[in-house]
A and B are shown apart, each in its own frame.
Chain A
Amino acid sequence: MASILETFGLDWAKFLSQVIIVLIVYGILSKFAFGPVLAMLDARRRRIAEGESNLETIKAEMGRAEEKVCGMLAQANADAERLIAEARDSAEAVRSQKTQEAVKEAQQILEKAREASRLEHESAMNELKRDFGRLVIDATSKVTGKVLDDKDQKRINDEAVGQVAL
């Protein structure tokens, strides 16, 4: 066995030096290559997983945001419709109120005009009655040639006015 190994060139000093070299390469690669690269690959794997997870979260957030936007839009539409309806109602109420006010005002104006006309008519009638009474007294006085006293004048006047049914 020893001679075979010798034929193949085995020498313990050389063998040990080669063992040391192998261990050095083992150490170098473990420290400078495998360690950092595997750590980097692991970090990248984690980052990708994190990215995927974030993507799912973002998708879920987007879904929720979309739902929220849809809800807000629906709410805004409902509010807008309600406001329009309220405005329409309010306008209708105002219009009705203004119409009523206008009608009332017109009625009042009409009433006032009617009252003024009546008062004027009454005043004219009273004036006419007084003039008529005076004419009757004058006529009576001229016809009878008699100077009528106040008592007669009042009686004649009342009778004349009483007979004029206006």
Chain B
Amino acid sequence: MVSIESALPMLAAGGIGAPTLPDLGWFTNSIFVAIVVTVAILLFTRMATKRMELIPGGKQNFVEFLIEFLYGQVEGIVGKHVAPRAFPLLATIFIFVLVSNWFGLIPGVGTIGFGEKTAALSVDSSFKDADGNYTFVPLLRPSTADLNMTLALAVVFMCVWLYLSISELGLWGTIVHIFGPKGGVQGALKWGLMIVFFVVGIIEVVSIMFRPMSLSLRLLGNIYAGETLLHTMGGLGEALGFPGWLAKISSVIFPLPFYFMEILVGALQATVFSLLCAVYIKLSTTHEGEEHH
């Protein structure tokens, strides 16, 4: 029987938290990957936009296409008025999450690391010491497979969301937007339904408070599950008792179909995360009158 723990070195530190790299304190492998991703994004954008020309070259053309496409999508959801202020964060979230998700598909992520009996591009199931403690710490772990990163993304977004909502509607306007009557109800009906709208407002506040958790756990769950799946498939041959050479071949062949699926899941999760963020901004920055148009 194949156990998750035996197939997934990421669990070496216990739970699904990212383990710290040896002798580096709080510096985890997911932070390391986040820094690598950040540097990669920085280098690529600098190369693409250092000498911008009116007639763009290859990299500039790609970056322009991506940004123009994303801006169009954001503008379509949040509207022309809010788009210039909401776009940078939403596009940052999409690009960062996408690159981080796909970074996890690079061979060696989650398998190369510190500890006993580790080997490049392979999953080693013998990484427990005599006391049952895991002794293997992978060097690289997708940053979006770490709750600290997904929650950081969600919390940063919520801060910007709050700023946009208040700057757009005002503090009192935001409160009225949440608790006030909706649908243009007037007269006695308005006052009669006031208590209903107030209760709905409280539910809305609770749902807003849960948004960071729902956003972060959805992303974490999908990417972590994808990593688990790939590593499980990679170690399946060995776990099933295949001979050494066959186990090595199967460690390449078995995960292959799931790599294509994870490419899709990575793009999908980046889209879902940023799309939900855009919808949250749209819901909280829409003026009462605009809802009926």
Contact = CB atoms under 8 A, between A and B. Distances in A.
Nearest to A10: B147
Contacts of B15: 6-9
Given A33-B45, A34-B88, A22 B148 contact: no
B87 A17 contact: no
Contact of B156 (A9, A14, A17, A19): A19
B17 A37 contact: no
B274 interface: no
A7 to B, nearest CB: 5
B35 A29 contact: no
B149 interface: yes
Interface string B1-35: 00000000000010111100000001110110011
Interface stretch (A40-48, A132-140, A153-161): A40-48
Nearest to B48: A33
A40 B52 contact: yes
A14 B28 contact: yes
Query: Shortest 7 CB-CB distances between A and B: which pairs?
Result: A9-B17, A18-B152, A13-B26, A33-B45, A14-B148, A19-B152, A8-B147
Contacts of A11: 17, 26, 148
B152 A32 contact: no
B61 to A, nearest CB: 11
B215 interface: no
Nearest to A39: B52
Given A5-B147, A15-B148, 15 more contacts: A7-B17, A8-B15, A9-B18, A17-B26, A17-B27, A18-B31, A22-B96, A22-B152, A25-B38, A25-B41, A32-B42, A33-B45, A33-B48, A36-B52, A37-B64
Interface string B78-117: 0000000001110110011000000000000000000000
Contact of A33 (B13, B38, B67): B67
Chain A interface size range: 20 to 34
A21 B54 contact: no
B143 interface: yes
Contacts of A9: 13, 15-18, 146-148
B42 A37 contact: no
A34 B151 contact: no
Contacts of A18: 30-31, 34, 143, 146, 148-149, 151-152
B221 to A, nearest CB: 10
A28 interface: yes
A10 B151 contact: yes
Contacts of B13: 9
A2 B252 CA distance: 39
B71 interface: yes
Given A8-B16, A14-B148, A28 B41 contact: yes
B76 to A, nearest CB: 16
Contact of A36 (B31, B38, B49, B147): B49
Nearest to A16: B152
A25 B95 CA distance: 10
A25 B65 CA distance: 20
A13 B152 CA distance: 11
A38 interface: yes
Contacts of A22: 92, 96, 149, 152-153, 156
A117 to B, nearest CB: 102
A44 B92 CA distance: 23
Contact of B220 (A8, A13, A44): A8
A21 B38 contact: yes
A44 B54 contact: yes
A66 to B, nearest CB: 32
A30 interface: yes
A103 interface: no
B68 interface: yes
